[in-house]
Structure 1
Amino acid sequence: MRLYRLVLITLCIQPLAALAIDLQPNDIVAPLPGKNHAMISYLNTDNSTYYLNGSIPPNTLKYKSLQNPNISTQSAILRVSTSYTLSSLPAISYVQLPYGTIKPAGSLNQFPTITGASIGSDTGIGDTTFATAIWPYADREAKKYFGIAGYFTVPTGSYNSQRLTNMGENRYKSDIQMGYQQPIVENLDGMIAVDTMWFGGNGSCQASCLSTTPTTLNQKPLTTTQVGPIYKINQTYTVGASYFYVAGGATTVGNEYKNNVINTQRFLLSGLAYYPFGRISLQYGRDMEIKNGFVETRRLALRFTTEF
């Protein structure tokens, strides 16, 4: 019975790191070439109530460890970018490195792993992401933009196969994203972006896969659509709202398919302030509906971007 409860915990913790590429307002606007920027972000998320196939499990012994769960993640993220022209098209590249803490709490910490250790928390460096975006279409006068971005994440983060939670995922990830933005009425733009994320295998999945020896974790592609308005209040302040629909991402441990499809709807509200010394942005969001996993009750991001 204890083993079954841990299976449920494992299947939900794994997808927490496999999220979409969230965009800020005007991220789809093509940058001017020859600019270098540094962005420092603080990201805080909380996940609580567990859903199984769209419902909260009954309060029985089998689901006791999931009656009052909490998973808190805090990260500081450094991103350095440079913009340029590629075959006469606007382009930008960046490298991003996070450092943070993931901490399970509540009923999740009341049950030991199969090795007898607590689930525990992890603090350390996360996985490094490299990205490049190019704009095949950028009409600055009409303010219409279509961009394509590619992301590649390498497993540089803290990872221990004996821990259930880790800052790093011990696997490679890649993502292709397309986005379009144009004016709707004066000072109001609309944007839409779609991305699909692919996952490499984690060949050293042990505690989080409930195995006494290393096994392989594989995950199906994860597709996200985000859409929403962007309103420019004045030259200093801009606000935006985004709706996200996330689908896919079921996992396989060894040869066993887990049927834990991620099917989530969420929202994200954004506010940006442009000052001579840099840009400050604040984003807040949460899940609206989830099929499998721990519902995200808060996503808070504070960012500062400056040119150098």
Structure 2
Amino acid sequence: MTMQKSSSARCGRAALTAALFCLGGLLTPDAWAVDVDAGDYTALPGGTNLGLLYYQYATRDKLYADGDKQPIDPKLDSNIGIARYVHFVNVGGYIIDPQFLLPFGKLKAEDDISSLGDASGVGDLILAATVWLVNQPKTNTYFGITPFLYVPTGNYDKDDSLNIGENRWKFALQAGYITGLTDKLALDLAGDVTLYGKNDKYGSSEATLKQDASVQLQGFLRYQLLQNWDLRGGLSYTFGGETKIDGVSQDDRTKTLKMQVGTAWFLLPTLQLMANYGRDLDVENGFKEANRVNLRVLTVF
């Protein structure tokens, strides 16, 4: 997802460029960032299939540069969905889950950044596969490693200020760990590094955009109220990812802390519903997310 034109001279070049890349929390589980939901690193038996559909509504109404709130009244809303398919297979005694994720949706800018307009369509295809190195269901202990490949297949137009696609390849490597603290309480931890390819058609002048690696750390606690119903809450911290346009540093290194709380319920043994609410707590550069609602439907077959 990209932003290419300045909407106000007061924002400054760095703030608006940072806004582009601090949209990392826009999708879950990570079409742009590599967000996870609590429980995602639970290994299931080989032969299991999952079909998932995500919906996220998010609002952003503040813009920051070097930790300072910019003197404008921006508004950027997003309605984003993700279709995801996961297949678990046993290979040589290890569980692996090849999968794909396809984001789609709409962005709309209003108020002082209304000149940016809106964008809709399909995002970049994501290919992934977790390999579980630790798989101990009896103690609720799991450890897995997941490579993600972002393929630049999404809608992108260099002359548009907002885009759903990024026109660049990306690669992320994530590790996730789950452990049962008690019979009812579980801890989820995840960390990842994302590497970015270049976008050589950035803006109408077709500048070259490059970005440093970024890192994200996530942690959650889940409390099992009933066998099929849990409450969860967590924090995420993302840093790094400074950008350069035609070799000029934009001084827009990301430092974003966000929170979320939610619940998940197996309505049927093969059907789970999940709802989370989240928001940014602290932002160094870019838009600050005021509210985010994530909904997910998961079916097992």
TM-score w.r.t. the length of structure 2 is: 0.91
Match for residue 163 of structure 1?
Answer: 160
> Cα deviation per residue 1:151-189 (whole Å; 9 max; x = unaligned)?
111111111000111011111111111111111122001
User: Is the deviation greater in 12-21 or in 292-301?
Assistant: 12-21
Does structure 1 conserve the Cα–Cα contact (< 8 Å) formed by 2:22 and 2:285?
no
Match of 2:36 among 5, 8, 23: 23
* Residue 20 (structure 2) pairs with residue 14 (structure 1): yes
Give the gaps of 5 or more residues in structure 1.
Answer: 60-66, 110-117, 208-212
2:121 to 106, 121, 124: 124
Matches within 5 A, 1:1-308: 5=11, 7-8=13-14, 10-19=16-25, 20-57=33-70, 59=71, 67-109=72-114, 118-207=115-204, 213-276=205-268, 277-308=270-301
Q: Give the Cα separation in 2 of the matches to 1:227 and 1:218.
A: 29
**Partner secondary structure for residue 226 of structure 2:** coil
Q: CA deviation at 1:13?
A: 3.4
Offset at residue 4 of structure 1 (A): 6.7
Deviation at 1:6, TM superposition (A): 6.7
Once superposed, which parts of structure 1, at least 4 consecutive aligned residues long, lie more than 6 Å away? none
Query: Whole-Å Cα distance in 2 between the matches of residues 139 and 36 of structure 1?
Result: 20
In 1: Cα distance, 2:243 partner to 2:10 partner: 17
Distance 2:58 2:39 in 1: 23
Which amino acid in 2 is paired with 1:102?
Answer: L
SS of residue paired to 2:21: helix
Q: Is the 8 A contact 1:48 1:70 kept in 2?
A: yes
Secondary structure in structure 1 of the residue aligned to 2:139:
coil
Output the CA distance in 1 between the equivalents of 2:83 and 2:221: 27
| Root-mean-square deviation (Å) | 1.7
State how far apart, in whole Å, the 2-side matches of 1:26 and 1:146 are. Answer: 12
Percent identical: 24
Corresponding pairs, count? 287
Distance 2:53 2:128 in 1: 16
In the alignment, the residues of structure 1 paired with residue 229 and residue 53 of structure 2 have an alpha-carbon distance, to the nearest angstrom, of: 19
SS in 2 for 1:141: helix
Q: Pick the structure with greater CA Rg.
A: 1
Q: State the alpha-carbon separation in 2 of the partners of residues 272 and 205 from structure 1.
A: 40
Normalised TM-score (structure 1): 0.89
- Larger fraction in strand: 2
Segments of structure 2 that go 5 or more residues without pairing to the other structure are 1-5, 26-32
